[in-house]
Each structure stands twice: as structure tokens, then as C-alpha cells.
């Protein structure tokens, strides 16, 4: 019975979400999880709802001004609940790489906002990679953290693993190229971009995008040395090209707030409610 009640409440929350009713979405999901806390997917979705609400609230503060004490407290509560829900998902289903990747993404969104968020993001992503070691996207996500932190060598290493696992992964080469370019390895970056072009040749928008970036790198290269063009077969259905980055990013704090690490904990009985 509790399972059915939980499922009913959560389905209602999705209807509320479609109607852009954030408060009702939040309340219904909180009730659904309280009724039956053994659904890791519900915890995972609720963690992202909380993070989104926190980000929207932070973004609503006029630039150059400080949020009120109440607004600041609500943001902190939402972030705390986002982390707690993400950790609860890993408690309910600790062998799910999706849950650990979700938790890592939460911490990535808090880099610069929460203390040690970068290290927590890395730790959670390491767990995701361990559980799903043959998935190239895991390494793109992992490398994306290092890219975000400006750790080019670490980012390059992860992106290289991704394209070795999936040699026709255009976006893998795209991220690799950007990391190489940031490091100043322009010839290697150009080779990576040319690999991207070969793989997306049937996608006009992607070709136009990568051609601009190829020209930009060529303009940076001082020598006239030619870079070898790797022959690759174009593949259909490539994902859009883009540098891996968090879907949301909380504004950096002069004094980052203390946040809990990725150690899994049971789901709390009570949760904060965002201010109306």
C-alpha cells in the first residue's frame, strides 16, 4: 500500500513539474519519499529538484547584492537536502553507477560554493567509474571535473580513456581537443578536432561548429607543420558537441559553506520546505 501511495504521489509531482509548479512538485515528492523511501530513483530526482530550486533562488538575487538571511538559509537547506537525497539514493542502491554519478554531479554544481565540493565530486565519480568501467561517458564526466578545475593532464587522461573505449565517440574527441588546447598542445588538439570532423561529417551544424574551432586552432599554431589526418568512418546519431559541464552551477562564495561528503547516509525523516 505504501508503495502504491508513494507511486501515486510521485506521479502527481511530475504533473506539477510539467505545470511549472515548483512548490507543489517539491511537496509531493517529499511526501512520496516519506511514504516509501526504498526507491532510489525518487531520491535521485528529488536531489535534482532541490538543487534546481537552490540554483533558481540564488539566481534570483540581483547581481551585486547579497541575499537576505532567510533566502540564504533556504538556499543552504535546499543544498543540504539535495546532497542528503543524493546520498540516500546511493544507500538504497549502492551498486548503481547512475546514483553515484548523480551525487558527483551535485557536488560539481557546488564547486566554489561548498567546502571540498571538488574532492567530493571526484570521489563520487570514482565510484561511478568503478561500477561502470566500460562506459565511455563515465570518463567524459570524470574528465569534465578535472577540466572544470583546470587540471588539464588529468582531464586529458580521462578523455583519452573514453575515446579508446569508443573510437567513434565524436564528443569524446571534442572534449579531448579542448583539454589539449587549454594545455597548449595545439597540434594534438587539432588532430582531435579533425577526428571530430571526420565523425560528424553528415551533421551540417556540427561540421560548421568544428570547422570554426579548427580554424581558430590553426591560427594559433605558429609553425607550418602539417598535422596527420586520421581516417575515421562517419557515424550516425552522434550526440551534440559540447564541453562536459554541470547542468547547474551555484555562485562561488568568498567563504564556501561546509557541506557533507559523499558517505551514504539513511534518508532523513524530515526535509526543509522552500520559502513560499
Q: Is the pLDDT of residue 260 over 60?
A: yes
pLDDT single digits (tens) 74-127: 999 999 999 999 999 999 999 999 999 999 999 999 999 999 999 999 999 999
Give the number of other CB atoms < 10 A from CB of residue 148.
19
C-alpha 23 chain-centroid distance: 24
Q: Is the pLDDT of residue 269 over 50?
A: no
pLDDT value of residue 182: 95
Work out the average pLDDT over 154-174.
97
| Grid coordinates of 226 | 602539417
Assign residue 39 a region: left if phi > 0, alpha if psi is -120 to 50, beta otherwise?
Answer: beta
pLDDT value of residue 273: 42
Give the CATH architecture of domain 142-230.
Alpha Horseshoe (1.25)
pLDDT value of residue 65: 82
Backbone angles phi, psi at 114, to 5 degrees: -115, 145
Q: Is the pLDDT of residue 43 over 80?
A: yes
Give 1's pLDDT tier (boundaries 50, 70, 90).
confident
Work out the average pLDDT over 232-250.
71
pLDDT value of residue 156: 98
Amino acid at each position: 500500500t505504501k508503495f502504491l501511495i508513494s507511486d501515486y504521489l510521485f506521479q502527481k509531482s511530475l504533473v506539477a513539474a510539467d505545470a511549472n509548479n515548483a512548490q507543489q512538485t517539491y511537496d509531493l515528492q517529499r511526501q512520496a519519499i516519506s511514504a516509501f523511501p526504498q526507491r532510489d530513483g525518487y531520491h535521485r530526482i528529488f536531489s535534482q529538484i532541490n538543487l534546481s530550486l537552490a540554483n533558481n533562488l540564488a539566481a534570483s538575487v540581483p547581481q551585486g547584492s547579497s541575499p537576505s538571511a532567510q533566502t540564504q538559509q533556504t538556499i543552504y537547506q535546499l543544498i543540504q537536502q539535495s546532497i542528503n537525497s543524493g546520498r540516500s539514493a546511493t544507500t538504497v542502491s549502492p551498486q548503481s553507477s547512475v546514483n553515484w554519478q548523480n551525487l558527483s554531479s551535485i557536488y560539481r554544481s557546488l564547486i566554489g560554493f561548498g567546502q571540498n565540493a571538488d574532492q567530493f565530486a571526484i570521489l563520487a565519480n570514482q565510484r561511478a567509474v568503478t561500477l561502470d568501467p566500460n562506459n565511455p561517458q563515465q570518463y567524459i564526466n570524470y574528465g569534465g571535473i578535472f577540466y572544470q578545475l583546470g587540471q588539464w593532464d588529468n582531464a586529458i587522461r580521462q578523455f583519452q580513456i573514453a575515446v579508446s573505449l569508443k573510437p567513434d565517440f565524436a564528443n569524446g574527441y571534442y572534449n579531448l581537443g579542448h583539454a589539449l588546447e587549454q594545455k597548449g598542445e595545439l597540434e594534438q588538439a587539432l588532430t582531435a578536432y579533425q577526428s571530430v570532423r571526420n565523425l560528424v561529417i553528415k551533421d551540417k551544424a556540427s561540421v560548421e561548429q568544428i570547422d570554426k574551432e579548427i580554424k581558430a586552432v590553426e591560427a594559433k599554431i605558429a609553425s607550418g607543420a602539417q598535422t596527420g589526418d586520421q581516417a575515421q568512418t562517419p557515424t550516425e546519431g552522434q550526440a551534440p558537441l559540447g564541453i562536459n559541464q554541470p547542468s547547474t552551477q551555484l555562485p562561488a562564495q568568498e567563504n564556501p559553506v561546509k557541506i557533507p561528503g559523499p558517505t551514504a547516509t539513511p534518508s532523513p525523516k524530515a526535509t526543509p520546505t522552500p520559502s513560499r
